Structure 1
C-alpha cells in the first residue's frame, strides 16, 4: 500500500513539474489566471462593442468606417465565433445594421486599399450567418478592387498595375498586404471561387519581391528603407491569413511560405527579452510598440498551430509575446503604446517621433487576432 502511495505521489509530482515547465516555456494552452485568450479576448471585444466609430483620434464621427475599426471588428467577430459566444456575435452583427439604413454613407467607397478592406466585415458576417445581403455587399467590394480603375484616385500608375493583372489600388506599401489579402481571402472563403485567393497570392508575391530584404524584414515602401514595426506587422499578419486558406496546389504558395518563414526567423532575433518588438524593429533604442508586437505574435501563433513553424523554437516566442502584450492593457481594456496612424517618410526620426497612444484600434485589433489564433 505504501509503495502504491509513493508511486501515485511521484506521478503527481512529475505531472505537476511537466505542467509548470510547459506553461512557462512552450505551451499555448495553459495560462496564468487572467491572461487566457478567452478572458482577454472577451474584455477587448466588449470594449470594442461599447466604442463608437473612431475617427483616428479626431473629435466627431468619421466620414466613413476607418480601416483600424474594420481590423478590430473582424478580430472581434472571429473571436466571438471561436469562443462560441453567440451573444457577442449578435452584438457585432447589430453594429452593422445602421450601415444598411441611416448610416449607409459610412460604408467606404472602395477606391483605396484602406477603404476596400471594409469588405472583410460583411463577408465574415455572411460566413457566420449565411445572410445573402452580406455577401452582396462584400463581394461587390472585392470585385471592384480588381475592376478597372475609376474615380478621382485612378491614375496612369493605377492603369499600369491593372494591366499587369494586379489590383489598380496597388501602391507598394507593406500595409497593403493585410488590407488587400483580408478582403480577397474572405471573398474566397465566402464564395469558394478560386479567383479571389489567386488574386491575393499573385499580389503578395509582387510585394515580397519588391519589399522584403535579405534579413527577412520589409521596407515600408521601396523609397523608405526602414523596418517599421506595425508595417512589418501588416505583412506578417497578411501572409498568415493568406496561407491559412491558400490551397496547397496554388503555384505561388511556395514563394509566400518562403517569405513568411524568412521573416519569422528574423523576428526571433529581434524579439526583446521581455517579449516585445520595437517601433523600428532593428533599432534597440526605439520604444517597445504594441500593435506590431501583437501582429508578430499572431503570425507566430498561426504558424505553430498550422505546423509551418518548428514548435519547440517558436512556441516560447509566441507565448512570451502574448504575455508581454497583455500587460499593456489598462483597466478599461485599452492597450497602451500604440503607434499612431503613420504615412511613409524617408526619415528615421519620423518613425521614432510618432505619437504613442492608448486604446487605438490599430492596437486593439491584434490583441483580438491573437486571442482568436490561440483558440483555433
Structure 2
C-alpha cells in the first residue's frame, strides 16, 4: 500500500512538473513578456495615489494591486521595488493610520492580506500583528451584531458571510495568507469551509455564478473573484484536506465552462454568456489567471488550457495603453436585475480592478 502511494505521489509530481514547463506558457513575443508587462504595471502602481472608499479607507482594489506588485517584486528579485512598496505602506503605522479600513466587512478585512504578505518579506512583527487582527476579527462576532451574523457564526462560518461571490476572494485571501505565515490549520480550515458553503449555495450546474441569487446574470468580474479565489485556495490547501475534492470539483467545472465561453479573440465578455456584450479586461484577466494556475498545478490539461491561457494573455496585453493603464475595465458594480445595466456600465482606464489581475497573471506566468 505504501509503495503504491509513493508511486502515485511521484506520478502527480511529475505531471505537475510537465505542466509547469508547458511551452504554451513560455517564449513570448516582444511586448508580451510577463516580466516586462508586470514591471511596467508594478512601478506604475507605486507612483499612484491611494484609492479610497468615499475618501476614508483604503479600497480593496488597491490592496489587490499592491499584493500583485509585491508578488511580482519577489518573483523577479526586484529589491528596489520591494523597498518602494514597503515605503508606501509605512505611513499606515503613523500619518496615514486613519486610512486603515475598519474590521467589520469582507471588503475591509481583506486588507490584512497585504500586511501578512509584507510580514513574509520583512519579518517585521508590526505587519504580523496587524494582518492577524484582520484575519481573526473576521471570525470574532462583535458585541453589536445582527441575528443573521450570529447565525452564521454559530455554524462555524464568518459572521461576515453574505453569500456574494466577491467574498470568495475577500475572505479566502486573508485567511490563506494567515495560514501561510503562521502554519495554523484553523485559518485554511476557515477558508475551505467557507468556500464549500459558497459553492454549494451559489454555483450553477454549468459551473458559473450569477451576480447574486436574485440577479440571473453571469457578470465577468463577479465570476472572476470565484475563479481566482478557488485557484489560490487550492494552491495552498493540503492534499489530504477533506474539503479539497469538493473545491477542486467546483473549480474544474467552472474552468470547463469558462473555456467554452472564451471568444475567438481570446477574451471574455462583460456578460460571460452573451456574445453581443463587450469584451471586459478585469474578468478576462481573472479567468486567465485561473487557467494558468490550473495548468501549472496539474489540475487542468496543459495542452487544452495552456493554449487557452496563451491566447487570452496575448489578447489582454494590447488593452494596456501608453500610460500603463489597463483599459476597458468595468467600474465597481453592484447587483441589479437589469441586463442593460451591465451593458451600460462605465469603463475606466487604469482602474485598479483591472491592474491587479494583470499583475497576478504576470506573476503566475513567471
TM-score category (smaller protein): over 0.9
> Please, which moves more after superposition, 217-226 or 109-118?
217-226
Give the TM-score taking structure 2 as reference length.
0.92
1:121 has 2:118 as partner? no
Q: Which residue of 1 aligns with 2:92?
A: 99
Q: How far 1:55 sits from its partner (Å)?
A: 3.5
Q: How far 1:317 sits from its partner (Å)?
A: 0.5
Q: Equivalent residue of 1:43, what SS?
A: helix
1:27 has 2:24 as partner? yes
Q: How far 1:350 sits from its partner (Å)?
A: 1.7
> Please, which moves more after superposition, 343-352 or 163-172?
343-352
- Do the aligned partners of 1:123 and 1:139 also contact (CA within 8 Å) in 2? yes
Q: Equivalent residue of 2:188, what SS?
A: helix
Q: How far 1:110 sits from its partner (Å)?
A: 1.3
Q: Encode CA deviations 1:128-150: one digit per residue, 9 max, x unaligned.
A: 11111110000011000010134
- Matched residue count: 345
Q: Encode CA deviations 1:352-371: one digit per residue, 9 max, x unaligned.
A: 22111110000000000001
Task: Name which one, 1 or 2, has greater alpha-carbon Rg.
Answer: 1
Question: Structure 2 vs 1, CA of residues 201 and 357 (structure 1 numbering), >3 Å: closer, same or farther?
Answer: same
Where do 1:238-317 residues align within 5 Å? Answer: 238-317=229-308
- Do the aligned partners of 1:149 and 1:158 also contact (CA within 8 Å) in 2? no
C-alpha separation in 2, matches of 1:220 and 1:128:
36
Flag as ranges the 4+ runs of structure 1 deviating above 6 A: none
Q: Which residue of 1 aligns with 2:352?
A: 361
Q: Which residue of 2 aligns with 1:174?
A: 165
1:374 has 2:365 as partner? yes
Q: Which residue of 2 aligns with 1:88?
A: 81
- Do the aligned partners of 1:26 and 1:312 also contact (CA within 8 Å) in 2? no
Q: Which of residues 18, 42, 52 in structure 1 aligns to 2:39?
A: 42
C-alpha separation in 1, matches of 2:324 and 2:125:
34
Q: How far 1:349 sits from its partner (Å)?
A: 1.7
Q: Which residue of 1 aligns with 2:16?
A: none
Q: Which residue of 1 aligns with 2:140?
A: 147
- Do the aligned partners of 2:24 and 2:303 also contact (CA within 8 Å) in 1? no
Q: Equivalent residue of 2:324, what SS?
A: coil
Give the TM-score taking structure 1 as reference length.
0.90
C-alpha separation in 2, matches of 1:26 and 1:74:
27
Q: Which residue of 2 aligns with 1:75?
A: 68
C-alpha separation in 2, matches of 1:76 and 1:150:
37
CA RMSD of aligned residues (A): 1.2
Q: Which of residues 150, 166, 189 in structure 2 aligns to 1:198?
A: 189
